[in-house]
């Protein structure tokens, strides 16, 4: 029997396709375009303890085969989210993944405690140890395996909700960071967040982004993400959620062969809001044509 259902650890998803954090807010806007229940899940905008206005000035720049963002974690704060958006996300009849960010260990622990109090409405916590656009926490913490293990260990004590750790590619050895997350008790890792980049306006000779740098996403980063998923798949016991440059069903399949159990789409859905519908239809057709259970593809890569 063909199927596109997948599992990430104990979490059942009706499709491998998840909308990446920061590209779908909490689902309100995109739900006007299509029925989000076809998706495996939706990852919320990165939330913090206090509301954040985000970075000032220009925050998005288009580039060849992608874009840079330096949003700076603009969000209404976790309490507002719990009160106003969590039930809405739950009503969408798809996986509810809540992306949580912080500036310090204390922030992350407080976030997990607050969200754990609503665990009946949440399928997984995606812990953002990777946003490159803030001065403290996130990537600054998530690039160091020692701190990653420590923070994941502390969060693990606070919840039995699945902890998916979203990692930064801006490191020398992604395996070391992913293994640190596993050792701390993570249930899965999400690979990858954006690559740190810069674009310059040649007239002003200044960076286009007012934060100077931003996170690079889109089709150009896919080979890097695939390489990192493949490397980590060989050493991890926990599942991987792939992310980076997905534009087609073939990209989803490539991530799964590399070792991903599920796959997030971000920039592709910003360019074409209904692209996830087309990818889902194509995945169903692919599994039917090949009489395939999609999850059987995970980690079937054979290296030369």
Residues that bind ligand SIN (CB under 6 A): 22, 46, 69-73, 128, 130-131, 133, 193-194, 215
Closest approach, Cβ 186 to ligand SIN, in A, equals 17
> Which residues, including other chains, have CB under 8 Å from residue 295's CB and lie 6 or more apart?
3, 5, 6, 7, 261
Closest approach, Cβ 74 to ligand SIN, in A, equals 6
Per annotation, catalytic residue among 131, 138, 232, 243: 131
- Choose between 43 and 287: whose C-beta lies nearer to ligand SIN: 43
- Choose between 100 and 180: whose C-beta lies nearer to ligand SIN: 100
> Which residues, including other chains, have CB under 8 Å from residue 29's CB and lie 6 or more apart?
none
Closest approach, Cβ 168 to ligand SIN, in A, equals 9
24 is catalytic: no
> Which residues, including other chains, have CB under 8 Å from residue 281's CB and lie 6 or more apart?
none
- Choose between 47 and 294: whose C-beta lies nearer to ligand SIN: 47
Closest to 90 (Cα-Cα) out of 133, 129, 42: 42
CB 100 within 8 A of CB 141: no
Return the SS3 of 139.
Answer: helix
- Choose between 130 and 267: whose C-beta lies nearer to ligand SIN: 130
**Helical H runs in 16-130?**
78-84, 86-91, 105-116
Alpha carbon distance 116, 131 (integer Å): 22
Tokens of 222: 């896919």
Closest approach, Cβ 130 to ligand SIN, in A, equals 6
Alpha carbon distance 27, 29 (integer Å): 6
Closest approach, Cβ 290 to ligand SIN, in A, equals 35
- Choose between 91 and 140: whose C-beta lies nearer to ligand SIN: 140
Active-site positions read: 131
């Amino acid at each position: 029997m063909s199927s596109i259902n997948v599992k990430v650890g104990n979490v059942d998803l009706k499709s491998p396709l998840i909308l990446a954090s920061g590209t779908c807010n909490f689902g309100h806007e995109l739900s006007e375009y299509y029925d989000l229940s076809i998706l495996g899940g939706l990852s919320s905008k990165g939330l913090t303890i206090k509301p954040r206005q985000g970075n000032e000035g220009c925050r998005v720049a288009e580039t060849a085969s992608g874009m840079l963002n330096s949003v700076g974690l603009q969000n209404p704060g976790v309490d507002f989210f719990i009160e106003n958006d969590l039930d809405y996300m739950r009503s969408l009849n798809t996986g509810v993944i809540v992306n949580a960010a912080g500036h310090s260990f204390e922030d992350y622990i407080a976030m997990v405690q607050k969200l754990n109090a609503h665990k009946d409405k949440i399928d997984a916590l995606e812990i953002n140890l990777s946003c490159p656009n803030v001065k403290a926490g996130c990537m600054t913490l998530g690039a160091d395996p020692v701190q990653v293990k420590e923070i994941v260990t502390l969060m693990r004590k606070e919840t039995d909700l699945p902890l998916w750790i979203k990692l930064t590619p801006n490191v020398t050895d992604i395996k070391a960071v992913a293994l640190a997350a596993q050792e701390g008790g993570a249930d899965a890792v999400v690979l990858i967040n954006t690559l740190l980049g810069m674009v310059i306006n040649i007239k002003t000779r200044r960076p286009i982004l007012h934060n100077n740098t931003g996170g690079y996403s889109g089709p150009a980063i896919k080979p890097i993400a695939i390489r990192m998923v493949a490397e980590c798949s060989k050493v991890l016991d926990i599942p991987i959620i792939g992310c980076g440059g997905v534009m087609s069903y073939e990209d989803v399949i490539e991530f799964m062969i590399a070792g991903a159990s599920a796959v997030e789409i971000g920039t592709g859905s910003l360019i074409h809001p209904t692209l996830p519908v087309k990818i889902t239809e194509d995945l169903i057709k692919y599994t039917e044509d090949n009489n395939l259970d999609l999850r059987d593809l995970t980690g079937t890569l054979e290296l030369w």
